[in-house]
Structures are given as structure tokens and as C-alpha cells.
Structure 1
Amino acid sequence: MRLFVSSMLSGLATRLMRQASSATVQTPLAALFLAVLIAPASAQADALRESSPPAYPQRPLTIIVTFPPGGGTDLLARKLAPLLEQALGQSVVVDNRPGASGNIGARAVAQSAPDGHTLLMVNSSFAITPHVLGTPGFDAARDFQAVINVGFIPSLLVTRADSPWHTLAQWLHPLPDAAPHLFASCGTGTPQHLAGAMMQAHQPAVQLQQVPYKGCGPALVDVLGGQVPVGIVTASSAMPYLSSGRLRALAVTAPQRAPQWPDVPTVAEHAMPGYHLNQWHGLLVPAGTDAAIVHRLNHILQQALAQDTLQEELRQLGYTPTSGSDTSPQAFQQLVQDDLARFAEMAPGLTQP
């Protein structure tokens, strides 16, 4: 419609100019009158042509994941990539950019062109790490536009299946010489780091010490290898090892027991009332991306999330998929802003690993 109006106005301007130069315009007054009509029509036609967004997409897309392969954020990005490929008719590449608990990947997207061809797959760490690790090289509140929050997921406290611990209380039992209880996390400033810090606040008599990794995948490697006794990781990253019997879950950080693991108690059930922590996973694009592009990406993923097949796949990984108004860009943008403010207040307790 906008292109039609632009063409119509441009044609009108051309016809009026031809008339103005023809013999039918006999007086300077008539020529002035036509000039007054021509100028706005021509200017509006030019403005409409300039504001019309280019065709999208024009080349392959890249989803930058802020953590290494094997973690929940990576798994989710690889589920969404083929859905976008099918809908957009362009290939979608998943590019893992780990480091600084997600800040390296986020900085790369913040500095990319706002044309919808570079997307950022993030979790709640995005709202935590800027307050913990200092200046990240981008403004989390201003340099990004939300596309969609795909879902929420808790973390699990896991240990090797052959470990001596069968409950969280057993693991938290005081160690000889008051040694700290080590736990692997997905990185300093991640929700898993926060989960451990919240446990420490509830159990001040027990000393917990984080062993930070560059993602949940590497953390699980060392838990499985016995280098670290317990890991706090996203449920989705632990799922394959729980299913194969290589890991045992001690507790879940959600406010209620997860339907996927009804026999795994919540952290709150272990004498920590009020304890709960879920994290979100969603897609962002650079600020300034055309609203039509954001809407198109959101619409594609909204439709995908409405399908029973994808919902079941996400639930099997431990996610609670978003639905209804929670899938809008506006709702996700507000969630990110709220969490940036909330975690800023909690950050002082997370500055040390």
C-alpha cells in the first residue's frame, strides 16, 4: 500500500509539472499555484520511498549463542534455527561465542548492523552479568530490541550417579575442617551462580564455593568426570545425562517440583522456604532494527510455539513455553528491563566467584 501511494503521488507530481510547463498555464499566478501543489506531493513521495523497508531477509541469518555447545541456550537456538530457515527461505547459522558469561557474544550483536540478519540467543545471564563483570562494552538496557521470550526453565543440582549423595541435605552436611562445598556453575554472573549464592544466604553455616565455567556444557563435563562433586546447571543441559543414568538430580530451583522429575524435591523443601529461581531464554536483535522485521521474526516463532509438537519437545527439555501475550516483543522487553533493575540490587553479593 505504501509503495502504491508513493507511486501515485509521484505520478501526480509529474503530471502537474508537465501541465505547468505547457501552454495551458498562461499566468505566473497559475504557475505559482501549481508549484505549491507539486512540492508537497513530490516530497511525500520521496519520503515514502525512503521509509519503505528493504526486502527481508537478503542473506543468511546468524544466531549468536552466548555459551558453548551442549548447554541449554545452545540447544534451544538449534531448535529454533530450522524453524526460521523454513519460514524465511534462508539458511540460519548458529554461532557460539562463549566468554565473560555471555558478554562477548552480546557485544558482537550490539555492534552488528540492525538489519535483522544477526540475532542474539540469551538467557537471564544477560540481565545479571553487566552488574557483576563491570563494563561489558554494550548497554544491555539500550542496545537491544526484544523479539520473543521462548520459555522459562529451572536449574538442577546434579551429581554423578555413583556419588555418595542422594539428597541435597547429604551434600550440604558439614565437611571436615570446615572445607567449602564446591559446585560447578555455568559461569560467574549466570543464574546458576546466583542459585548458589541464594543457597548460601539461606544456609550461612555452610560454606559454598563456586567453580565457574564458560557454560553449562563444560561444567557438566567436569561433574561427569568427577573433578567437581556437584553442578548447578540448566535442566535442559542435564537432561540427556539424567535420561542415560549418568547423573542424579538432588534438587530443582523451581518453586514447585518439575513434572519431568516429580521425585526430585525443590531447594525450598530442604529447609530453605521461599527459595526459587527460574530463568528465561529468548531472542534479541540490535536496537534500531526495523519494527516490521521484529514483528515478522516474532510472528514466525509465535506460530511455532503454538504447535503441540514444539511445546512437547521443549517440555521434555524442562522448559515451560511462553504463550499468549507473554510471547510479544513488548512483554519480553519489559521482562528484560525489570530483571536488569532487579539483578542490579543483587549484584554486590555475586562479585566474587
Structure 2
Amino acid sequence: MDRRSFATLIATVGPLLASGCALADNWPAKPLKLIVPYAAGGPTDAIARIIGTKMAASLGQAVVVDNRAGAGGTIGVDATAKAAADGYSFALVAPGPLAGMPNLTKVPYTLDELEFLTLAARIPSVIVVNRKSGITSIEQLIAKAKAAPDTLNYSSAGAGTTPHIGFELFKRETGAAIVHVPYKGAAPAISAVLSGEVQMTMVDLLPILPFAANGNLVVLAVAGKTRAPQLPDVPTTVELGLSNVQMETTYGLVAPKGIPAAVQAKLRDAAVKAIGSPEMKAQFLKQGALAATSTGAEYRSLMQAESDKWRGVIASAKIKLD
């Protein structure tokens, strides 16, 4: 590069670097918006509000939760991708709009439009049955399903959701013929099991804890490698020999692509500090979740692996949107 070209480069890039540093020095100068791509009152919303409160205390600015529900979480993720890249908008997301929906339909964003900041929490999925079903173990469930194919039903929160993908993994691994009955959301899917409309479901741990405690639902297994601290006597699918049946809801924080590096570092550091605090870990446990942090690259890689897994199940089970 000759002297004139170098001078031109400095003249062009210098002001941009200076403005980025100035923005970082003054950030945050106003409240932040934490987008939740789901309705208020759900597990994602609850976790977001815990994170937002803790981050606000360290940043000295309010963190306002903005619920943008609809289209399997894609509306909220699209709003995040299209937001100004100034560090004032970010989102807490589950795997669905990152790993699931892009394999089911055309979404209005790409993952390249997002900055992956850090993991935030993991909530294990569990396989549960209505206590009146008489099923008390995974082995009994498999035997009953094989003895009378297509007579047992399982509910999900809708086509392509985590419970749907998870149970199709279970069916593929065990050869059990169980009929899928989709509902419009996790709450009605759980209600269907409680009422006996269907016999079982795979669902996040949090919403079924009260029903497991009062005996209306029987938790047969945790879909993963590690037992849930809230249910230490419940075996995992890996322990039961179903190593490919691993499903959890992994929450993480994403932001619009292009945030100045110094601002992004401040935003991520505030989130990691909040999530890693003892108070946060204790609050997460009450929500049936485990606090978890990572680098942005690790989080992106995890979502790519999840996308690959979901794509295979969607193809083999011929899953389509309702």
C-alpha cells in the first residue's frame, strides 16, 4: 500500500473508530430493550425478566422487556435482527426460531444478521405421563406402545416445536408407534395430558413441577445426560440406554449484527456477570433452569448443531407446519 492509499484509509476508518470508541464510552446512556419472541407469562419471559433486572442493576439503566410473540418466535427474532446495531436492543431466544423454524419455512432473517452473545440458561425436557395411564417407567411405555401400535397419543405445543421434535427422536430411537396430537402452545398440551385427552408429552421441566409434586403427572425420564436437581430420583434417557434422545430448551442472548465491538463486549460482560451470580443461579433453579454462559462462537456453534439435528428429524418424520 503506498503512502497516499494509507492516508486515505486512515482518513476513512479513523473517524469510524473514534465514533465507535465514543459510543462505547457513553454506553449505556438510555434504557435497553430486551426482546422476548414469546408471550408474557411463559418461561422465556420469566427468565428474561430475571436477567433484565440483574443487568439493569450493574449497567445503571433500565432493561425493559418487549414481548414480540408470534410465528414460532420468528417475529421477535426478526425485530432483533432489524433493530439498530447500537447495543440498546437484544433478545433472549430459545432454539425454535434459530434451529427449528428455518428448517420448516422461509424466515425473514438469517443467522448472519445476528450477533450471538452468550448462552443464558438450559431447561431440560422431560417425558411425562398422566398418572391414570398406569405407565410408571420408560420400559413400560415402550412395551405398551409396541404391543398396541398407534393407540397411545402424545401432545406437543405445535408442529416443529421442541416437544414435537423431541418425541419424534424418542419414536425413532425406540421404534414405538405413538400418535402426535399438536396443540396451540405448551399450556394446552400439558392440560391435554392432565385431562387424559392424550397419555403423554415431552415438555420443559418448569411447567410440570407442580403437577409432578401433587402426583397428577408421572415424570418417566429427563431427556439428556444429567439428572434434574429438582427431580434427583428420575433417570435420564442416556442412563436408560436411549443416548440419541437428548432434548432441552437452551436459552441465549442475541443482538443485531454490527454492534461496535467495545459496546458488544460491555453488553455481553453485563449479561455474563448477571447470569453467573449466585442469586441468578438460585432464581433459575426455581424456574427449573440451570444458568449457563458461553462465548458467542460457542453459542452459534451449538445452534448450528441443533439445526442439523432438527433438520434430520423433520425430514425423517415428514414434519410440516400446521
In the alignment, which residue of structure 2 is the partner of 1:248?
218
Give the whole-Å Cα distance in 2 for the aligned partners of 1:149 and 1:185.
25
1:102 to 57, 73, 76: 73
Q: 1:132·1:348 contact (CA, 8 Å) conserved in 2?
A: no
Cα gap change, 1:209 to 1:275, in 2 (>3 Å) = same
Please list, as runs of the form range in 1=range in 2, the aligned pairs for 1:178-189 lying within 5 A after superposition.
178-189=149-160
SS for the counterpart of 1:236 is helix
Q: Which has the higher contact order (CA 8 A, sep 6+)?
A: 2
Answer yes or no: is the 8 Å Cα contact 1:186–1:232 preserved in 2: no
Deviation, 1:255, is 1.8
Give the deviation of 1:308 after TM superposition: 2.0
Aligned to 1:63: 34
Bigger Rg, which one: 1
Distance in 2 (CA, whole Å) between partners of 1:266 and 1:229 is: 20
> Is the 2:276–2:291 contact (alpha carbons within 8 Å) kept by the matching residues of 1?
no
1:287 aligns to 2:287 (yes or no): no
Specify the alignment match of 2:229 in structure 1. 259
Equivalent AA in structure 1 for residue 257 of structure 2: A
CA deviations over 1:203-246 (Å, ceiling 9, x no partner)? 324233141433x3443344344444323211123334434555
Aligned partner of residue 52 in structure 1, secondary structure: helix
1:52 corresponds to: 21
By how many angstroms is 1:80 displaced? 0.7
TM-score by structure 1 length?
0.75
SS of residue matched to 1:138:
coil
2:93 corresponds to which letter in structure 1?
Answer: V
- Residues in 2 aligned to 1:192 and 1:250: alpha-carbon distance in whole angstroms: 15
Quick one: distance in 2 between partners of 1:176 and 1:40? 73
**8 Å contact kept, 1:110–1:286:** yes
- The aligned residue for residue 276 of structure 1 is 246
Q: Percent identity?
A: 25
Alignment pair present for 1:334 and 2:308: no
TM-score normalized with structure 2 length: 0.81
**What amino acid maps onto 2:73 in structure 1?**
G
> How far apart, CA to CA, are the structure 2 residues paired with 1:178 and 1:137?
40
Q: Does 1:127 align with 2:101?
A: no
2:170 corresponds to: 199
The counterpart of 2:55, out of the listed 59, 79, 84, is 84
Partners of 2:129 and 2:89 in 1: how far apart? 37
Q: Let me know the Cα RMSD of the aligned residues.
A: 3.2
Gaps of 5+ in 2: 1-6
Q: 1:316 to 1:303 in 2, by over 3 A?
A: same
Pick the aligned partner of 2:268 from 278, 293, 298: 298
Compared with structure 1, are the counterparts of its residues 123 and 42 closer, same or farther at alpha carbon in structure 2 (3 Å cutoff)?
A: closer
TM superposition shift of 1:71: 3.6
Could you list the runs of 5+ residues in structure 1 that have no partner in the other structure? 1-37
- What whole-Å deviation, never above 9, does each CA across 1:153-177 have from its counterpart, x for those lacking one? 3101224455533333444413997
Give SS of 2:54's match: helix
SS in 1 for 2:145: coil
Please, which of 152, 156, 170 is the counterpart of residue 122 of structure 2? 152
Relative to structure 2, which stretch is displaced further, 301-310 or 238-247? 238-247
CA distance in 2: counterparts of 1:78 and 1:161, whole angstroms: 34
- Measured in 2, the distance between the counterparts of 1:48 and 1:115 equals 14
Q: Which moved more, 1:76-85 or 1:170-179?
A: 170-179
